[in-house]
Amino acid sequence: MKYIVIIDQGTTSTRAIIYNTLGEVQSSSQEEFKQIYPKPGYVEHDPIDILSSVRSVISTALTKARVKYSQILCLGITNQRETVIAWDKNTGEPVYNALVWQCRRTKERCLELKKAGYTDLIQKKTGLKLDSYFSASKMEWILKNVKQSQVLLNEHRLLVGTVDTYLLWQLSGGKIYKTDYTNASRTMLYNIHELCWDQELCNLFHIPMEILPEVCPSSHLYGYTDKEMLGFEVPISSVAGDQQSSLFGQCCFEKGDLKVTYGTGCFLLLNTGSSALYSNNGLITTLNCQTTDIPSYALEGSVFVGGAVIQWLRDELKLLSKSSDSEELARSVDNTNGVYLVPAFVGLGAPYWDFEAEGLITGITRGTNRAHIVRAALESIAYQVNDVTLAMSKDMHQAIQFIKVDGGASENGFLMEFQADISNVSILCPFHKEVTALGAFYLAALQQKIYTSLEDIKQVNQIEKVFPSKMDEKKRNELLNGWNKAIKKSQI
């Protein structure tokens, strides 16, 4: 039996999952690493911690599965997007900590560019909003503020890229300097129509194009791991940004297919096929995972606070002893008794993009109890997801037929039922829960010819549970009217 090793390198932890060639999980290992907050709004990781965690979880997962190096067919990577690392080509040493996608240190620089009128140019070429969330201004910050980066640049020794590029380079012993389309499309430097680094954007952010990595399809032979680094030499057969990998893992291969990942926030991606749609409703355009050089696109929307609202009820308000109690409490009442909770703790994401909005609980009366507030919190997740799906439907000019779901909060039956009701669509829950890693597995398996087509993958991808919509239209409209009023209150 041969096995595929998948690295899932996330924002707070790294996992390795060992699959057999049938797509069955043999073992997994997870390791958290330190979050660094030097100043308010600054978020960093130590790249050495990231690399160390990758090596550690691979070793542990292989030991748990009792898999020998000779049985490893290939390796695949899925990763946190937008996070930037710069390092020395000769030594592999980082010049500075990784600037994490959450880091807002370049907010003022992006505002400066907005005032200068660059918003439309950037959206036209990259599909993205001009925001510090993306990689370009982070790369520029390192080049401007880290003296060693300029020294290395002058000596032609500076390399810079997203987490996948850093891992590819390190795991190959410095032989692979590449990224994939999905990660490149998140940098704000990549032209998603011409599939190339854009000279005008590189000039705008003062980034020499020659230091950027080669861009490849997500399912691709990137090169080979270094035996001294990992103990074995195998092909690296897939690379994909985590949310696009999740879309692929959900088998959302057709135009109109939608997935939602319920995590700390909620990430929604809608496959738009060969059309790069520009949103008039607060969404961004990005590239899908690809197996060829023919581009495929998606609309993406992010809800800033999803499952985090339940953590807030547990940790700050002490209304829950554990997050899983939320479902039972929500079901203990028939409704919220008129209560709405808007978790705009850091403003509102798509489709509003209102960073001044404030969190609130409205509709409280003398009869309001703990269960009403907990239920309102769970419902707020579904309302926010529905807001994004409506925006996607408007941009696509067609109704959403179903939503495929994953992530921790998708295990909450009440939330899934309410999502189906309020969005008036069926919710499809997969049999395999780790769909982000599964997407990277499918991409690697395609490169290795274990699967010969997307249809082959569809045959083995299983839906475990379906939540149909049961709410009548009158009730749905009443609830949505209440939610929209609450949103407006939060924006005052």
Look at residue 345 and tell me whether its pLDDT is greater than 80.
yes
Average pLDDT over residues 278-285: 88
Beta bridge partners of 465: 429
H/E stretch holding 27 reads strand 25-32
pLDDT category of residue 352 using cuts at 50, 70 and 90: confident
Q: How far is 110 from 88, CA to CA, in rounded Å?
A: 27
Average pLDDT over residues 403-431: 92
- pTM given for the model: 0.88
CB proximity list for 43: less than 8 A, separation 6 or greater: 35, 36, 37, 99, 100, 102, 103, 104
CB proximity list for 390: less than 8 A, separation 6 or greater: 351
For 129, phi then psi, to 5°, come to -80, 150
The SS3 of residue 250 is: coil
Look at residue 433 and tell me whether its pLDDT is greater than 80.
no
pLDDT tens-digit readout, 171-183: 999 999 999 999 9
Look at residue 135 and tell me whether its pLDDT is greater than 90.
yes
The confidence score (pLDDT) of residue 132 equals 85
Answer with the residue of higher pLDDT: 448 or 11: 448
Look at residue 263 and tell me whether its pLDDT is greater than 90.
no
